Structure 1
Amino acid sequence: MSTRKLFATLIGINNYMSNALRGCVKDVLEIDALLREICAQQQSPLEYTPLYLLAPNQADEERISKLPVPIQYEAPTFAHITQKAFSHLKQAQPGDICVLFYSGHGSQIKAPAEFSHLKSDGQNETLVCVDSRDPASQSRDLIDKELAYLIWDALEGKDVHCLVIMDCCHSGNNMRAIATEDEELRYRMEAPSAVQAPLDQYLGFNDPRNFYEPKNGKASIKIARYVQLSSAQDFEKAAETRAGGLFTSRLIPFLRAGGTARSYRSIIQNLAVTVTGRYAQQHPVISATRKEDEDLQFLGADLIPYQASYEVRYDFSKENWILHGGAMHGITPSTGGADTLVKIMGVDQTIKITQTGATTSVLDKAGMAAFDNSREDYKAVIVQMAGARLNIGLAQSLQADAGMMAALQAAYEKAAPFYLDLDFHGQREVHDYLIRLTAEKAYLFTASDSDVPLFARTEDAAQFLGDAEQIGRWCSVAEMRNVDTTIKDTDFVFTLEIIEGEDLGAANADELPGTPIPLRPDEEIRLRYRHEKAPGFRLSVALADNATLTECFIGVLYLGSKYGIAEGLIDASASRLVKGGAPITLQFINPDTGKEQHTIPVNMDELYYTYGINEITDLLKIFVSTQPLQLSSFEQEELPLETPLTRGIGFAKKSVAVDNDVNWTIFTNHIRITGVSSNLTPSTPKKIAL
């Protein structure tokens, strides 16, 4: 039996002749790394077979030269995209997976009269190849109907799972943009093509299988079976930022944070919140030939969802196998009652973690005895985590529905969540959380003493558990600390200013007056809406003159009230704090201006007011370490809010060992935000109908 394969055609175009972009090749490298890791983590062999069509700039070329796995690429010309890109996918056999990823400019072209009945604006959408607008070339844009033909030609009649991802303008119906004065935010859109193509010049027009089906002066096309995730609707622009395409830069972290276990519909629903929140004129969309395919799991239900992996090396000086991940990555040590277990990728064997330090962990030596200690390519994923998990009971309404119970139990066994402990058999008398079932047969997650959901209800058991797991992870991060540190809070000077009653979206937000407030590490920050305007704060951290440390590294996690975790408030390249040097000030990318600012705005979702909540609490966790920090693995998007949150974390404090050469600690400042209405209190949430 032949090995199952994942065929990926990955197209990224930065180096256009005019209107060059900067994040498209980065987008490709990010999705490439994720797909490669997903394939490596499967128990049954899944061979990764990529094809790269790239137009890199100088910075991209340097990035490509440093990749751990060398890649070979060709130019994304019209000829290469229309021929090589799809002949690559055409190799797929039944049971294989195909991924087509495009990151670059999108545009439009006047549609032939035969398609006038399909589009009221008279335009077809296009992909702009690297040579499409080259006057010396005979090339043109690739038209959306031609793209549909090429996919159909490659996959028609095959039982292949196909995913198409488009990060470009006008991508919602094609089966990035002229640079603005704002260098922080630009759009992936080229001007409409001046080249007109009649229908008889469309790719596939002469295919004897009659793809375009012209009849009575009108044409319709055949569609292969695939799912498409698009960065924007067909009439919208798609933005790119310094981190890459806005859509892709949100998609990849979401998939890495558990999103590969979600359905395509759930993925787009979550991205719609975060992308549109950053750029209000861009709305990600999903389409599928068969509507039911929108509810398929990412890349198919038979794949093991992605998990973060860690390098494993033998340390000859310590005579131990070391996993390069520790407490600062959220890994807990094995205890007397439970083990933290890892699986070495490609090997059907689990190994216990015996000790956990700040950035590394020690693996059980006996379990690793058969491994080659000279190899440097071992990687491991966590398969079981010791420590406190959310104690969750099942309401009578759910237990009475055999079908919904069976779906939940099957999803739970497949996902094997780290942070959830569902009491399916009623063995515990007391539960901290409860899963209820609504009259519409949707799962609802609440505290056991409340009927107020902690996130929006859903009928999808896998999506529900993914959302609940995110709460468990949030709670785990909220309780992180190091009891063995020698770092003192008196080693630091926190300088806080609060800004209330001002327009924090203004370009001059950092020039707005602030009120200095004395603040110590772990003290609460109080903020209040004034004049119906959201508050904000500025915070800088410096080493005190009498600090025992001479230098350290600072990182920040912002834990929002809707269970999102954000990491980017300190630039990792400027995180070193030196005694007697300049302080480190938190920063924020203003979504309206695309510029960095030091004024951090905070806000309350207006839905809180609807249910009688006028006060919420966010958490600001400030990490301090004697070694550089990498906290991006903690990031997760916020959950959609249905009703007010009334949470009890319920975790015991964690006590973790530390590496001998790493000293670290965490300061946690609660940020209490009081909203507009003085008539509402946190203790009077309205109930909702189940």
Structure 2
Amino acid sequence: MSATVYALLVGIDAYQGPRVRPLHGCKNDIASAQEFLARSTSSLRVETLRDGEATRDAVVDGIRTHLGAAGAGDTAVFWFSGHGSLAPVPAALRHLEPSGTSQTLVCADSRLPGVPDLQDYELATLLDRIAGNGVHVVVILDSCHSGGATRGEAVSERFAPPATEPPAPETLLDEVLAGTSRDGSAEVAERRRGNHVALTACQIHQTAAEYRRDGEFRGAFTTALLNAANAQGADATYRELMVAARCAIEDLVPNQHPLLYPHEHPIADRMFLGGAGRSPRSAIVMRYLRGRWEIDAGSCHGLTPPEADDPLLVGVVGVPAHEARVTRVGVVSSDVEPVGWQPDRGRQYPMALTRMPTPPAEVTVDGAREFTDRLAAAIRTGGPGGGASPYVRIAPGGTLHVRDDPPRILGQDGELLAPPVVTGDPVPTVLRELEHIARWRQIKKLVNVGSPLAGTVDVELIAAAPGVATAPLEGPALRPDADGVIRLRYAPDPPVVFIRLRNRSDRRLYCALLDLTDRYQIHPDLFPGDYLGPGQVGTAVDGRRVQFSLPPGRAATRTAQGRDWLLLLVSDQEFSSAAFRLGRLGEPAPDRSRGLPGLSGVLERLALTALHRDARRESPVAHDWTTSIVEVVTQA
């Protein structure tokens, strides 16, 4: 008998309590989560609580009765999208929270008289009892626990003001009050470690955001997590999904870093849903249904609606000149039109992405009128043939922010992304650097939905022991922290590691490893490209040691750090990683007018479209490909 997934999905946009402002994307979150679970599991029992249904009593009862019905070997999923907050801890429970403050989930009726938030120690107690029956318990929280961030116009926070008083003891769960013995607290805390795995939207000092896309609000974390799960397949581990989700979310929302708990426990390396998910299909499938052609991939898989001059294309795997243009992106499926060929309506076709839309990055400009007008005009006329820039456009609440006096480029969180322009006419320089950053970001978020190659090859970093000159093919690798980042530290010299690529599949796969630096450079020099056989291990720079250090000119102060994103490209066909090369910010772009030597396949076209707007009119042969990314932070 196969394992069953029991899911309790809670989404609250409308709140009853005073001073708890409404949200907009939480019900959309749980609708997407329910659709994902229905597709990804063979046996699912789901209960949803929306808005006024999600009272404190109803949420607690849903955990006790619905999730509590799971048996040994089953999986229980508690998914909450709504406001999070903080509350003082009652004196009798202070031993559970040494800080004196607990994180809370704000239920629909929380903050009404006599109705507290659901406290974190209450939630842990309920879920640990379920886990004690041999159930694999997963907690996904798209809410936040503190304030203090600035957002753009299209982004809002999921945070309610902290409670000023601790909850009255009589309002708390009996299970919690029954376990207040100080003598047993250490044993209880130790028993909880590893009982369930939690994937949360942000760290305790951060806020979780929801954002508007295509007219609908959604949680940034839910969107990133589901996109990662759809892209990486059922074999992805919690740690792998959180690494991918963090990388996907950080360009969209500043200062929100998803957190995995307990990240140091083996449960973090279990497969998502405890292995209850189905194996991925061979490819996206195109079929004729209800009078039109469609593919079984949509916005919940990460597809974005295309523009007329920026198409989204899929191609029949292994067949040249057989592409289809996506005309409408739905939630779970999308309409397509075959381009230049007539498919057989009685057949189903395995498809792969061959071209993805590369919408311009949105830029907000503040400053003197003369400067802002000139920069806006340059963006409108700085593209090919005097048209608009294909990389950036002016918009309120943009992910890039330009300020005058002196002209400089900032991220959403105010981080300086490029040095201020202090000499000459700043407008051409600012535009060139805006376009450079936008091109770099397009490559960083490159992902293929529904690829059967997802999760087949791992990137492993191994600390280089003194005197060891060649990468060992076996041995433990460094693991990401709870927020999905591998951290290296000077001691006092720059850290040195080996980098391995491990093919865990039974297929011969072509791999390349790109280094995306925080100076907005992209290079494939670590592992330009080669085939890895089934079970084979490859090494970067021919097995030599790799030093990570602060960029030149960045002082090695106590808070200084450098960031690299190692982007792995995997394909069942050979490709040229040279297409992905991008110089440092401020360096002139390479001339691509003569194209690239060698191959001209799907990945080359994706790279040339993103970096150089070279659409490559010829239709490449579609083949399977996938990406994964590892963030490395080097600290002084």
TM-score class, shorter-chain normalisation, is 0.5 to 0.7
CA distance in 2, matches of 1:305, 1:522: 46
Distance 1:187-1:178 versus aligned 2 partners, 3 A rule: farther
- How far the C-alpha of 1:291 sits from its partner, in A, is 0.6
- How far the C-alpha of 1:566 sits from its partner, in A, is 8.8
- Which residue in 1 is equivalent to 2:138? 163
Is the 8 Å Cα contact of residues 108 and 124 (structure 1) preserved in structure 2? yes
Correspondence 1:149 to 2:125: yes
CA distance in 2, matches of 1:532, 1:168: 36
- Which residue in 2 is equivalent to 1:89? 67
* Cα deviation digits, residues 333-369 of structure 1 (max 9, x gap): 6649x9x9xxxxxxxxxxxxxx99249984584xx7x
CA distance in 2, matches of 1:561, 1:217: 49
Secondary structure of the residue aligned to 1:11 is strand
CA distance in 2, matches of 1:381, 1:291: 42
CA distance in 2, matches of 1:523, 1:292: 51
- How far the C-alpha of 1:252 sits from its partner, in A, is 2.0
CA distance in 2, matches of 1:651, 1:127: 53
Is the 8 Å Cα contact of residues 5 and 43 (structure 2) preserved in structure 1? yes
Secondary structure of the residue aligned to 1:151 is helix
- How far the C-alpha of 1:20 sits from its partner, in A, is 0.7
- Which residue in 2 is equivalent to 1:641? 566
| TM-score under structure 2 length normalisation | 0.53
CA distance in 2, matches of 1:181, 1:258: 29
1:182-221 to 2 correspondences below 5 Å: 183-197=153-167, 202-205=172-175, 211-215=179-183, 220-221=188-189
Distance 1:309-1:195 versus aligned 2 partners, 3 A rule: farther
Distance 1:523-1:83 versus aligned 2 partners, 3 A rule: closer
- Which residue in 2 is equivalent to 1:231? 201
2:316 to 320, 325, 332: 332
CA distance in 1, matches of 2:67, 2:101: 28
- How far the C-alpha of 1:48 sits from its partner, in A, is 1.8
2:238 to 235, 241, 264: 264
- Which residue in 1 is equivalent to 2:632? none
Is the 8 Å Cα contact of residues 161 and 226 (structure 1) preserved in structure 2? yes
- How far the C-alpha of 1:294 sits from its partner, in A, is 0.9
Is the 8 Å Cα contact of residues 323 and 361 (structure 1) preserved in structure 2? no
Is the 8 Å Cα contact of residues 105 and 177 (structure 1) preserved in structure 2? no
- How far the C-alpha of 1:537 sits from its partner, in A, is 7.0
1:506-585 to 2 correspondences below 5 Å: 506-507=365-366, 511-513=373-375, 514-515=377-378, 516-517=381-382, 519-520=384-385, 535-536=430-431, 560=441, 562-565=443-446
Residue 606 of structure 1 aligns with an amino acid whose one-letter code is: D
- Which residue in 2 is equivalent to 1:590? none
- Which residue in 2 is equivalent to 1:606? 518
Is the 8 Å Cα contact of residues 53 and 76 (structure 1) preserved in structure 2? yes
Secondary structure of the residue aligned to 2:204 is coil
CA distance in 2, matches of 1:246, 1:643: 24
- Which residue in 2 is equivalent to 1:249? 223
CA distance in 1, matches of 2:315, 2:567: 31
- Which residue in 1 is equivalent to 2:87? 109
- Which residue in 2 is equivalent to 1:304? 278
- Which residue in 2 is equivalent to 1:30? 32
Is the 8 Å Cα contact of residues 288 and 294 (structure 1) preserved in structure 2? yes
Greater shift after overlay, 106-115 or 645-654?
A: 645-654
Secondary structure of the residue aligned to 2:8 is strand
* Cα deviation digits, residues 272-292 of structure 1 (max 9, x gap): 233333333322110039711
- How far the C-alpha of 1:225 sits from its partner, in A, is 1.8
Distance 1:361-1:150 versus aligned 2 partners, 3 A rule: farther
1:283-322 to 2 correspondences below 5 Å: 283-288=257-262, 291-301=265-275, 303-306=277-280, 312-313=287-288
Is the 8 Å Cα contact of residues 128 and 196 (structure 2) preserved in structure 1? no
CA distance in 1, matches of 2:126, 2:244: 30
- Which residue in 1 is equivalent to 2:77? 99
Distance 1:294-1:87 versus aligned 2 partners, 3 A rule: same
Is the 8 Å Cα contact of residues 156 and 210 (structure 2) preserved in structure 1? yes
Distance 1:125-1:361 versus aligned 2 partners, 3 A rule: farther
- Which residue in 2 is equivalent to 1:397? none
CA distance in 1, matches of 2:29, 2:431: 32
1:252-651 to 2 correspondences below 5 Å: 252-258=226-232, 260-288=234-262, 291-301=265-275, 303-306=277-280, 312-313=287-288, 324=295, 328-332=312-316, 335=319, 357-358=338-339, 362=343, 365=346, 382=350, 476-477=354-355, 506-507=365-366, 511-513=373-375, 514-515=377-378, 516-517=381-382, 519-520=384-385, 535-536=430-431, 560=441, 562-565=443-446, 605-606=517-518, 640-641=565-566, 647-648=577-578, 651=599
- How far the C-alpha of 1:523 sits from its partner, in A, is 13
Secondary structure of the residue aligned to 2:224 is helix
CA distance in 2, matches of 1:104, 1:605: 35
Distance 1:241-1:523 versus aligned 2 partners, 3 A rule: closer
- Which residue in 1 is equivalent to 2:13? 14
* Cα deviation digits, residues 532-576 of structure 1 (max 9, x gap): 56844799xxxxxxxxxxxxxxxxx97857453499xxxxxxxxx
CA distance in 2, matches of 1:197, 1:669: 53
- Which residue in 2 is equivalent to 1:487? none
- How far the C-alpha of 1:226 sits from its partner, in A, is 1.6
Is the 8 Å Cα contact of residues 83 and 143 (structure 2) preserved in structure 1? yes
Greater shift after overlay, 292-301 or 324-333?
A: 324-333
- Which residue in 2 is equivalent to 1:42? none
Residue 47 of structure 1 aligns with an amino acid whose one-letter code is: S
CA distance in 1, matches of 2:186, 2:293: 66
- Quick check: which has more Rg, 1 or 2? 1
- How far the C-alpha of 1:149 sits from its partner, in A, is 1.1
Secondary structure of the residue aligned to 2:111 is coil
CA distance in 2, matches of 1:237, 1:187: 6
Distance 1:607-1:83 versus aligned 2 partners, 3 A rule: same
- Give unpaired runs (5+ residues) of structure 2: 298-310, 325-335, 393-408, 410-416, 422-428, 449-515, 526-562, 570-574, 580-597, 614-636
Identity of aligned residues (%): 21
- Which residue in 2 is equivalent to 1:671? 612
Secondary structure of the residue aligned to 2:129 is helix
Correspondence 1:77 to 2:47: no
CA distance in 2, matches of 1:538, 1:239: 28
Correspondence 1:52 to 2:33: no
RMSD, aligned CA: 5.2
Distance 1:119-1:538 versus aligned 2 partners, 3 A rule: same
- How far the C-alpha of 1:11 sits from its partner, in A, is 0.3
Greater shift after overlay, 507-516 or 12-21?
A: 507-516
* Cα deviation digits, residues 214-253 of structure 1 (max 9, x gap): 3299995552722111001123221222232221122222
Residue 60 of structure 2 aligns with an amino acid whose one-letter code is: T
Secondary structure of the residue aligned to 1:150 is helix
Is the 8 Å Cα contact of residues 517 and 564 (structure 2) preserved in structure 1? no
Distance 1:24-1:180 versus aligned 2 partners, 3 A rule: farther
Residue 70 of structure 2 aligns with an amino acid whose one-letter code is: A
Secondary structure of the residue aligned to 2:4 is strand
Residue 565 of structure 2 aligns with an amino acid whose one-letter code is: P
CA distance in 2, matches of 1:530, 1:104: 36
Residue 253 of structure 1 aligns with an amino acid whose one-letter code is: N
Is the 8 Å Cα contact of residues 11 and 54 (structure 1) preserved in structure 2? yes
Secondary structure of the residue aligned to 2:315 is coil
CA distance in 1, matches of 2:440, 2:522: 23
- Give unpaired runs (5+ residues) of structure 1: 40-45, 56-73, 171-175, 341-354, 369-379, 386-417, 419-472, 481-495, 540-556, 568-603, 614-637, 655-665, 673-690
Distance 1:164-1:511 versus aligned 2 partners, 3 A rule: farther
Is the 8 Å Cα contact of residues 146 and 203 (structure 1) preserved in structure 2? yes
- How far the C-alpha of 1:38 sits from its partner, in A, is 1.1
- How far the C-alpha of 1:134 sits from its partner, in A, is 2.3
